[in-house]
Amino acid sequence: MIDLDDLRARPDAYEKAANQKKIAVSIPKFLALDAARRESQKRLDDMRAEKNAVSKRMPSLKGTEKETALTDMKKLSEEIKTKEEDLAKTEEVWREMYLQIPTIPHPRVPVGNDDKGNKEVKKWGDPAAALTVKNPKDHVTLGEALGILDIPRGVKLAGARSYFLKGDGARLQMAVMRFAVDALVKKGWTLFNPPLMANWDCLMGTGFFPGAEEQTYAVGPQAKRGEKIEPDDLYLIGTSEVSVCSYHKDEVLPLSALPTRYCGYSSCFRRESGTYGKDTKGLYRVHQFEKVEQVVLCEASEEKALKMFEEIRTNAEEVLQALKLPYRVLDICTGDMGRGKVYMQDIETWMPSRKAYGETHSCSYLGDFQARRLNIKYEDKDGKKKFVHTLNNTCIASPRILIPLFEIYQNEDGSITIPEVLRAYMGGQERIG
């Protein structure tokens, strides 16, 4: 959700942002509707004031004058009811359009139509040197041969894009997650084990609704994708960002509480609608996964927010560097970054079986977009209430990170070497196989 005053002052900037982000919303049409809504609201307020004035005079009226006033009051009441119904319809359309309006991207964001417009800004590690075997196998072949991955039985139970991690495969995932959590906690981050279900307001508040309804699992007897359902019915989260960012919904925080350094560890669920036939083999695109997410609420300062952006992205990079996995960092272009993002970078890790880097992390700065929707404010040093700015970043996500871990650490005999930094979490074990 964006600042209406800023939108009215700079409509061309928002129209440009909508075009660059490929968001199908017309700013001129919205502003025309906004003007009509405000005019209707003013007229309705005037009519209510007129009705109240007549009501106050009524006890002093008599005879014909009173009868005339009663007739006028009845007519006015009917007009008010009609106006209220019309305004409610207008506000429904107005709100739907308002929620579609995107943020203005930061000047450093490259302009592009899709992921082809993303710009590489950094590389770490040498993919050619990382892999030491002559005849590398992909992670599925490795995992199945070692008995630590079972996709067919996962599909049998839960359909396509489902899987079992078994034995040392499950233990390795837990080790990776625990390593990332401990790395953040040592730096003073507060760990959350958040609810895995959230209501419509939280999904809307964090910017996933409208837009990601087809990717979200609805829970409840009357659940329908994309519809606001009954309060007892909920949605499975696709990231703990939804729960952790909503933690301070409708609150005013003291300045001393900022910036927050929160990390949410949770299972996540995504339908992967629209990806039929894409990345169907293995663990790259699945319905259920584990993730450690960093969530930051900070002062309404772009300068301070971008410093936090560097901090949270660096946290993720340090985990990859400790695991000795080659990666690259991309600036995400306007057409690939989403409605609420002001600035966004992805980290892609080298995956030998794909002969390419694959996305494993995402880092986003959203300005006050989420805070306005969630109504999260802070009180500055002058006592003025302002909306916080929010950021989030994937510190680690599995099983996707297992793809490079399996493949880069494989040995000629089919075993997998456990990265040194993870061995303490696996009882000192050095190999799987």
pLDDT tens, residue by residue, 412-433: 999 999 999 999 999 999 999 9
Pairing of strands 262-269, 190-192: parallel
Q: Which of 359, 372, 379, 423 is catalytic?
A: 359
The structural domains of the chain, with segments of one domain joined by +, span: 4-98, 115-196+237-432
The pLDDT, as a whole number, for residue 3 is 96
Pairing of strands 252-254, 377-379: parallel
Q: Which of 240, 364, 400, 407 is catalytic?
A: 400
372 in active site:
no
Q: Which of 246, 266, 362, 398 is catalytic?
A: 362
Single-letter code of the amino acid located at 287: H
Q: How many whole angstroms separate alpha carbon 169 and alpha carbon 432?
A: 8
- pLDDT tens for 310-342 read 999 999 999 999 999 999 999 999 999 999 999
Q: How many whole angstroms separate alpha carbon 210 and alpha carbon 297?
A: 22
Per-residue pLDDT of the chain in tens (433 residues, 90 and over written 9): 899 999 999 999 999 999 999 999 999 999 999 999 999 999 999 989 888 888 888 788 788 888 887 888 888 889 999 999 999 999 999 999 999 999 999 999 999 999 999 999 999 999 999 988 999 999 999 999 999 999 999 999 999 999 999 999 999 999 999 999 999 999 999 999 999 999 999 999 999 999 999 999 988 665 655 555 555 678 999 999 999 999 999 999 999 999 999 999 999 999 987 777 777 789 999 999 999 999 999 999 999 999 999 999 999 999 999 999 999 999 999 999 999 999 999 999 999 999 999 999 999 999 999 999 999 999 999 999 999 999 999 999 999 999 999 999 999 999 999 999 999 999 999 999 9
CATH number corresponding to 115-196+237-432: 3.30.930.10
Q: Which of 48, 285, 372, 423 is catalytic?
A: 285
400 in active site:
yes
Q: Which tokens go with 186?
A: 């040592």
The pLDDT, as a whole number, for residue 215 is 92
Q: Which of 270, 271, 339, 373 is catalytic?
A: 270
328 in active site:
no
SS3 assignment for the chain: CCCHHHHHHCHHHHHHHHHHCCCCCCHHHHHHHHHHHHHHHHHHHHHHHHHHHHHHHHHHCCHHHHHHHHHHHHHHHHHHHHHHHHHHHHHHHHHHHHCCCCCCCCCCCCCCCCHHHCEEEEEECCHHHHCCCCCCCCHHHHHHHHCCEEHHHHHHHHCCCCCEECHHHHHHHHHHHHHHHHHHHCCCCEEECCCCEECHHHHHHCCCCCCCHHHCCEECCCCCCCCCCCCCCEEECCCCHHHHHHHHCCCEEEHHHCCCCEEEEEEEECCCCCCCCCCCCCCCCCCEEEEEEEEEEECCCHHHHHHHHHHHHHHHHHHHHHHCCCEEEEECCHHHCCCCCCEEEEEEEEEHHHCEEEEEEEEEECCCHHHHHHCCEEECCCCCEEECEEEEEEEEEECCCHHHHHHHCECCCCCEECCHHHHHHHCCCCEEC
423 in active site:
no
pTM over 0.95: no
CA angle at 136 for the pair 416 and 162, rounded to the nearest 5°: 70
Contact predicate 334/307, CB 8 Å: no
273 in active site:
no
Task: Kindly state which CATH superfamily the domain 4-98 is placed in.
Answer: Serine-tRNA synthetase, tRNA binding domain (1.10.287.40)
